[in-house]
Amino acid sequence: MTLQGPIGGPGYGDVRPRPMFFLSFILHALILSVILFIPAFPTPKWTFGPVYSVQLVDRMPSLARNEAEIPFVGQGQDTRQSVRSVPMRKTADFRDLTPIRRINPGRQPSVEVQQALDAIRKGSQRPVRQTPTAPVVTPAGSGPAMSVNESEREQRMQSYYSQVWKRIKKKWTYPPGVVPPENLEAVVDLQVLRNGAVVNVKFERRSGNRYFDESVLRAIGKASPMPPLPDMPGDNSMDIGIRFHASDLP
Amino acid sequence: MYRAIKWMILIALVIISFSGWVWGRVYLDIDSPTLQKIPIAVTDVLTLTNEQWGKGTDTWLSGNLSAALELTGLFQSIPKEAFLEDQKPRPFSVDTIHFEDWSAIGAEYVIKGRFNVLPGGREMVVTWRLFDAVERKMVLEKQCRGRTDNRGDLVYPFVDDLLNALTGERGIFDTRVAIVQKKGSTWRVISIAFDGTGLASLMAGDALVITPRWSPDGKQLAYTSYQDGQPALYIRTINGRQARKIASFPGINLAGPWSPDGRKLLMTLSKDGNEEIYVMELKSGRLDRLTNHPAIDVSPTWSPDGRSIAFVSSRSGAPQIYVMNSDGSNIRRLTFDGPYNSSPAWSPRGNRIAYEGRKDGFFQIFTLETDGSKLVQVTSGSKNHESPTWSPDGRYLAFGVRDGGAYSICVSNSGGTGLRVLYESKDPCRSPIWSPRLSSSHILEAQPSISSLLTR
């Protein structure tokens, strides 16, 4: 096949464009995927440590009643709208961060949206209440409001991660005096199957101390099997990475 | 044209699915592990010989093993009432043990044993096995042979191997603590085993004896004695009766610790006017002076690598602890807290120094890093605690305690927990000195053992 540029223009003549076309397509695809990569680095890290809440602005109580206590404003969210039924928590609760469209209670909400809101509310009640509570960093790429199904899936995932975190943390022990009080860190990758079985436990990074690494593997062993994966389409297994860290306190 | 489009679509799919894969993994952060003793279940030992020999021995062996494990401060024995396993078959191998029964009660490790009384009835052989209930495998098997009442031969060698497999260091059941005691008019140096048993007398006499020091091979003792009328320094073999005089200069000749290679001895001499620290090369008798200061310099202790020496000096006006190089250069002050600090002891791990310091009217034991940071108070209470000495693995401290007219030698973990009395007496006893490891089995040969933790 031949293409002809405008008569007299640069493309004029019988030039075979296929290699150029190919090259241009590959370059575009590469650039596009790099743009897709950038939000994925740094990889989302979920930590369920102690939550410290700081009151930065002294707010008058009258204001709080009419405005939603949204911890921070995501892009494109309307802060003038408020939801009467969102529970007001004392500490900064980042669980409410899942960006869902908030509706004006003056308007009659449609039935489906109301049901979806109930499901999400139920989902946000389930996770751990006792300390340490979980400040969850939303994964990158969730800026614009997601559909309600995806946010419900997010809630389930968060709850599941929280359960896995709790189980392993509870079982991570070693006797005093065996591991030196230094800053040690190990990262382990594992896979959780649909029924909760833990497979493919591998070190992504070792700490350098044999007994620390042993204790980390034993913690995972003692915490296994995990609860079954939450009901989700696709996904017969879940890949989780765990970063174990001990500071240099004696 | 269509072929080109097909290829483009293929490549696009590959690239997009690739980016999806990188996106997939989520990371959880877990910090602050809980410091907790290892829960371990010790089952009664089963006899393979005539049932009548088993009576009492099964529980005697398992009881001593549990006690030894708890003595280390690293293990928590699970009470037998909690065991779920059927007593009758008593499975002994990885294939027959139901590890779920053990992890269900929280046991991380299980110990089982079989014993055989040898013909004659005086000796027996015990086969011990250590199982890991979490990883469901056998960690270690050991055969011990000895007299039927000798737990030193039947139990402790297995505990040593167990500690080596799980913590990287053997136990210290083959160590002893030497103590100076004045009973009536007799001065004795006695030694006692780590578990508080096996009291033995190393030497006794009418003359005052102070500062006994074990040689690094555990075969000799250096000490200062007034047996010839003046405080002179002697060395004798542990079992021998002969003592040879090493230093008898005018004034005081106080025995200090041996160098880690056993070739030199530190000592405090006052022959040059006031107390100073010297080092003597034992073979040649050559004496080198290390400190040179009008203040009193005493009580030296060597670092485990032999390159530094900590000592007490009153050059600041009151006794404080200083550190210098082993040739006497680069003297720097270590302790700044407290009005009176002395008796430094350098940890065999090299990183910390223990000492006695006056606080609120009583002497307490403290430890701090060799750079002076991270001060930890080990003891407390309205008693005087003195003369700290480290165990060879650096995990425990022994020290003297004086409470009015009651004297005791106590042991605790280096952080202060697990305090227990090693020896107590109405007669003054002081100056505890921990021996090195005394059994020949601590010399590790390249043995292929079933300690499979090493294969990871």
Residue B13 lies in a domain: no
Please tell me the distance in Å from A242's CA to the nearest CA on chain B: 5
Q: Which of chain B's residues have a Cβ under 8 Å away from the Cβ of A172?
A: 30, 33-34
Q: Which of chain B's residues have a Cβ under 8 Å away from the Cβ of A139?
A: 26
Q: Is the pLDDT of residue A102 over 50?
A: no
Could you tell me if A203 and A185 are in contact, meaning their C-beta atoms sit under 8 angstroms apart?
no
Q: Which of chain B's residues have a Cβ under 8 Å away from the Cβ of A218?
A: 108, 134-135
Residue B102 lies in a domain: yes
pLDDT the model gives residue B345: 96
Question: What strand order describes the sheet that includes B186-193?
Answer: B200-205, B186-193, B176-183, B429-434
- A70 with A152, same domain: the answer is yes
Task: For residue B227, report the phi and psi dihedrals to the nearest 5 degrees.
Answer: -60, -25
Chain A residue with CA closest to B76: the answer is A175
Q: Which of chain B's residues have a Cβ under 8 Å away from the Cβ of A157?
A: 26
- Rounded to the nearest 10°, the torsion over CA A215, A221, A224, A229 is 80
Please tell me the distance in Å from A103's CA to the nearest CA on chain B: 31
- A121 with A190, same domain: the answer is no
**B108 in A contact zone (CB under 8 Å):** yes
- B259 with B321, same domain: the answer is yes
For residue A100, count CB atoms less than 10 angstroms from its CB and return exposed for 0-12, middle for 13-18, buried for 19 or more: buried
Residue B32 lies in a domain: no
What is the pLDDT averaged over residues A181-186?
A: 85
- Rounded to the nearest 10°, the torsion over CA B421, B422, B426, B428 is -120
End-to-end CA distance of chain A: 76
Residue A60 lies in a domain: no
Query: Which residue is listed with tokens 């049901």?
Result: A115
- B199 with B241, same domain: the answer is yes
Alpha carbon of residue A5 to chain centroid: 50
Please tell me the distance in Å from A235's CA to the nearest CA on chain B: 11
Helices and strands per DSSP (H, E), number in chain B: 6, 32
Residue B5, classed as helix, strand or coil, is: helix
Gap between the Cα atoms of A137 and A46, Å rounded: 6
Q: Which of chain B's residues have a Cβ under 8 Å away from the Cβ of A246?
A: 31-33
CATH number at residue B217: 2.120.10.30
Residue B167 lies in a domain: yes
Please tell me the distance in Å from B363's CA to the nearest CA on chain A: 23
Q: Is the pLDDT of residue A141 over 70?
A: no
Of B1, B4, B23, Cβ closest to residue A22: B4
Which of residues A160, A188, A215 is at a domain's end? A160
Q: Which of chain A's residues have a Cβ under 8 Å away from the Cβ of B74?
A: 175-178
Residue B245, classed as helix, strand or coil, is: strand
Q: Which of chain B's residues have a Cβ under 8 Å away from the Cβ of A189?
A: 25
Most confidently predicted of A43-52, A123-132, A178-187, B267-276: B267-276
Contact yes or no for B28 and A139 at CB 8 A: no
pLDDT the model gives residue B366: 96
Of B18, B19, B27, Cβ closest to residue A43: B27
Contact yes or no for B29 and A189 at CB 8 A: no
Of A46, A49, A169, Cβ closest to residue B26: A46
- A71 with A153, same domain: the answer is yes
Residue A20 lies in a domain: no
- A154 with A235, same domain: the answer is no
Q: Where is pLDDT greater, at A123 or B141? A: B141
Of A26, A173, A250, Cβ closest to residue B34: A173
Contact yes or no for A168 and B30 at CB 8 A: yes
Which of these ranges, A54-68, A176-190, B343-357, has the smallest mean pLDDT?
A54-68
Could you tell me if A40 and B22 are in contact, meaning their C-beta atoms sit under 8 angstroms apart?
yes
Gap between the Cα atoms of B424 and B411, Å rounded: 12
- A133 with A181, same domain: the answer is no
- B196 with B156, same domain: the answer is no
Gap between the Cα atoms of B370 and B335, Å rounded: 10
**B38 in A contact zone (CB under 8 Å):** yes
Contact yes or no for B28 and A21 at CB 8 A: no
Q: How many distinct structural domains can be found in chain A?
A: 2
**A245 in B contact zone (CB under 8 Å):** yes
- B190 with B166, same domain: the answer is no
Contact yes or no for B33 and A173 at CB 8 A: yes
Contact yes or no for A46 and B453 at CB 8 A: no
Residue A176 lies in a domain: yes
At A91, list the tokens. 């500490």
The vertex-B180 CA angle with B179 and B181, nearest 5°, equals 110
Gap between the Cα atoms of B232 and B277, Å rounded: 15
Residue B17 lies in a domain: no
Q: What is the 3-state secondary structure (H, E, C) of chain A?
A: CCECCCCCCCCCCCECCHHHHHHHHHHHHHHHHHHHHHHHCCCCEEECCCCCCCCCCCCCHHHHHHCCCCCCCCCCCCCCCCCCCCCCCCCCCHHHHCCCCCCCCCCCCCHHHHHHHHHHHHHHHCCCCCCCCCCCCCCCCCCCCCCHHHHHHHHHHHHHHHHHHHHHHHHCEECCCCCCCCCEEEEEEEEEECCCCEEEEEEEECCCCHHHHHHHHHHHHHHCCCCCCCCCCCCCEEEEEEEEEECCCC
Which domain range does residue A219 map to?
172-250
Q: Which of A32, A3, A7, A33 is nearest to A16 (CA)?
A: A3
Chain B residue with CA closest to A225: the answer is B134
**A169 in B contact zone (CB under 8 Å):** yes
Contact yes or no for B19 and A178 at CB 8 A: no
- B164 with B184, same domain: the answer is no
Could you tell me if A162 and A128 are in contact, meaning their C-beta atoms sit under 8 angstroms apart?
yes
- B244 with B231, same domain: the answer is yes
C-alpha dist (Å) from residue B354 to B291, B321, B366, B397, B430: 21, 10, 6, 9, 16
The vertex-A190 CA angle with A175 and A222, nearest 5°, equals 35
- Rounded to the nearest 10°, the torsion over CA B240, B242, B247, B250 is 130
End-to-end CA distance of chain B: 56
Q: How many distinct structural domains can be found in chain B?
A: 2
C-alpha dist (Å) from residue A9 to A5, A18, A19: 6, 19, 20
Q: Where is pLDDT greater, at A106 or A112? A: A112
Alpha carbon of residue B151 to chain centroid: 19
Residue A182 lies in a domain: yes
User: Which of B29, B167, B373 to probe the A interface (max A CBs under 10 A)?
Assistant: B29
- B183 with B314, same domain: the answer is yes
Contacts of A112 (CB under 8 A, 6+ apart): none
Residue B456 lies in a domain: no
Task: For residue A83, report the phi and psi dihedrals to the nearest 5 degrees.
Answer: -115, 120
Residue A88 lies in a domain: yes
Gap between the Cα atoms of A80 and B198, Å rounded: 82
pTM to 2 decimal places? 0.66
Contact yes or no for A187 and B27 at CB 8 A: yes
Which of residues B171, B188, B212 is at a domain's end? B171
**A16 in B contact zone (CB under 8 Å):** no
Of B8, B24, B26, Cβ closest to residue A25: B8
- B86 with B208, same domain: the answer is no
- B218 with B313, same domain: the answer is yes
Gap between the Cα atoms of B342 and B312, Å rounded: 6
At A34, list the tokens. 């790099």
- A151 with A180, same domain: the answer is no
> Number of Cβ pairs closer than 8 Å across A and B?
144
Please tell me the distance in Å from B112's CA to the nearest CA on chain A: 21
pLDDT the model gives residue A155: 86
Q: Which of chain A's residues have a Cβ under 8 Å away from the Cβ of B166?
A: 178
Residue A125 lies in a domain: yes
| pLDDT profile of chain B (456 residues), mean per 10 | 79 65 73 88 82 74 91 89 78 89 92 89 90 93 90 88 89 90 92 88 90 93 93 89 89 94 94 93 94 93 95 95 94 94 94 95 94 91 95 93 92 85 91 86 31 32
- A154 with A200, same domain: the answer is no
pLDDT the model gives residue B449: 30
Residue A27 lies in a domain: no
What is the DSSP code (8-state) at residue B409? E
- Interface subset of A 170-189, CB within 8 angstroms of B: 172-178, 187, 189
Q: Which of chain B's residues have a Cβ under 8 Å away from the Cβ of A169?
A: 30
Chain A residue with CA closest to B166: the answer is A211
Q: Which of chain A's residues have a Cβ under 8 Å away from the Cβ of B22?
A: 37, 40
Gap between the Cα atoms of B39 and B109, Å rounded: 7
Which domain range does residue B147 map to?
38-171
- B72 with B214, same domain: the answer is no
**B373 in A contact zone (CB under 8 Å):** no
Please tell me the distance in Å from B17's CA to the nearest CA on chain A: 10
CATH number at residue B158: 3.40.50.10070
**Single-letter amino acid, residue A24:** S
- B189 with B303, same domain: the answer is yes
Mean pLDDT, chain A, whole residue set? 68
- A120 with A179, same domain: the answer is no
Please tell me the distance in Å from B91's CA to the nearest CA on chain A: 22
Which of residues A160, A187, A214 is at a domain's end? A160
pLDDT the model gives residue A51: 58
Could you tell me if B327 and B348 are in contact, meaning their C-beta atoms sit under 8 angstroms apart?
no
Gap between the Cα atoms of A162 and A168, Å rounded: 10
Chain B residue with CA closest to A16: the answer is B1
Residue B455 lies in a domain: no
Contact yes or no for B35 and A176 at CB 8 A: yes
- B159 with B217, same domain: the answer is no
Residue B214 lies in a domain: yes
Contacts of B339 (CB under 8 A, 6+ apart): B318, B358
Gap between the Cα atoms of A64 and A73, Å rounded: 15
Residue A6 lies in a domain: no
User: Which of B13, B23, B25, B30 to probe the A interface (max A CBs under 10 A)?
Assistant: B30
